[in-house]
Amino acid sequence: MEILIVEDEAEIAQLIQLYLEKEGFSCRTCRDGTTALQVFQEQKPDLIILDLMIPGLDGLEVCARIRQKPGTKDPYILMLTARGEELDRIIGLSTGADDYMVKPFSPKELVARVRALLRRSLRQGGQSQIYRTQHFQVDLDQRAAHRLTEDQLDPLDLTTLEFDLLSTFMSYPGRVWNRTQLIDKLWGSNFFGDERVVDTHIARLRKKIEPDPANPTFVKTVIGVGYKFEDTAA
């Protein structure tokens, strides 16, 4: 597994690299946002540890640009920053980060979070299954999602988490999921963070699949409980 560490404090970057390489990960480091984007294009890492306050393009901008870039490699992003206010966490997650960790941090906890994120893709391994409803199709083996329009497949540009979220909903149509259940399904038992990260990713998924995200047709809110997916079976 390839990991890119974007951190302008050399001692912290070296500490992270030391602990991750002890666990068998291959790491590369850089110190500013512009270089991070260049390395991302060249290396196509599986996961990026991204400091929020870095020279040039800040971490939020780097995260947003990576999520906007089309391609088959959509890395997990763990934001690492000294800013721990709730608003900062929400903004970071809304730009596409998968997890958020505040300095000072425990290197062992960092490794645990990295493993938890990467475990998502490993849990998908070996599956070869297609879920299809009247308006959507997801192929777990190819990790491809499409909208069905007049018997044609129009690709959906989803992030890794958005794909996992949609495939989870489509595998159990009509089931009501609370935040805890979705976190367990997508992140596993090693999840660290705020449960409201689920709401953020639901909102992002709705923007990509709903005709009117403010009045969702497919991913519906069940007040006081959670969310459910409704679409006629194909």
The total number of structural domains in the chain stands at 2
In tens, the pLDDT along 202-226 reads: 999 999 999 999 999 999 999 988 9
Which tokens belong to 46? 């599986």
What local confidence, expressed as pLDDT, does residue 102 receive?
Answer: 86
What local confidence, expressed as pLDDT, does residue 123 receive?
Answer: 42
Is residue 14 assigned to a domain?
yes
What local confidence, expressed as pLDDT, does residue 121 receive?
Answer: 54
What local confidence, expressed as pLDDT, does residue 70 receive?
Answer: 54
What local confidence, expressed as pLDDT, does residue 12 receive?
Answer: 95
- Examine the domain organization and report whether 80 and 162 are in the same domain: no
- Examine the domain organization and report whether 70 and 150 are in the same domain: no
Is residue 188 assigned to a domain?
yes
What local confidence, expressed as pLDDT, does residue 43 receive?
Answer: 86
Side-by-side strand order, sheet with 47-51: 26-30, 2-6, 47-51, 76-81, 99-102
Residue that is last in its domain, among 71, 93, 124: 124
- Examine the domain organization and report whether 165 and 204 are in the same domain: yes
- Examine the domain organization and report whether 85 and 153 are in the same domain: no
The domain in which residue 222 lies consists of 130-229
- Examine the domain organization and report whether 54 and 145 are in the same domain: no
Residue 126 pLDDT grade (very low, low, confident, very high; cuts 50, 70, 90): very low
High-pLDDT (> 70) share of the chain, %: 87
Is residue 155 assigned to a domain?
yes
Residues 52 and 82: their CA atoms lie apart, in Å, by: 8
Residue that is last in its domain, among 92, 124, 156: 124
Residue 128 reports pLDDT greater than 90: no
What local confidence, expressed as pLDDT, does residue 81 receive?
Answer: 81
In tens, the pLDDT along 152-164 reads: 889 999 988 899 8
Residues 145 and 164: their CA atoms lie apart, in Å, by: 10
Ordered DSSP codes for 24-36: T-EEEEESSHHHH
- Greater confidence (124 vs 103) lies with 103
- Greater confidence (166 vs 67) lies with 166
Residue 100: strand, helix, or coil = strand
Q: How far apart are the first and last CA of the chain?
A: 37
- Examine the domain organization and report whether 107 and 215 are in the same domain: no
Residue 32 pLDDT grade (very low, low, confident, very high; cuts 50, 70, 90): very high
- Greater confidence (63 vs 172) lies with 63
Residues 37 and 39: their CA atoms lie apart, in Å, by: 6
Q: Which of the listed ranges 35-44, 113-122, 139-148 does the model predict with the highest average pLDDT?
A: 35-44
Instruction: Give the mean model confidence (pLDDT) for residues 121-126.
Output: 45
Is residue 234 assigned to a domain?
no
Residue 124 reports pLDDT greater than 60: no
**What are the two backbone dihedrals, phi and then psi, of residue 154, each rounded to the nearest 5 degrees?**
-105, 120
Residues 50 and 56: their CA atoms lie apart, in Å, by: 13
Residue that is last in its domain, among 124, 141, 170: 124
Distances (CA, A) of 233 to 13, 130, 186: 49, 13, 23
Residue 89 pLDDT grade (very low, low, confident, very high; cuts 50, 70, 90): low
Q: Which of the listed ranges 32-36, 104-108, 179-183 does the model predict with the highest average pLDDT?
A: 32-36
- Examine the domain organization and report whether 84 and 181 are in the same domain: no
- Examine the domain organization and report whether 120 and 180 are in the same domain: no
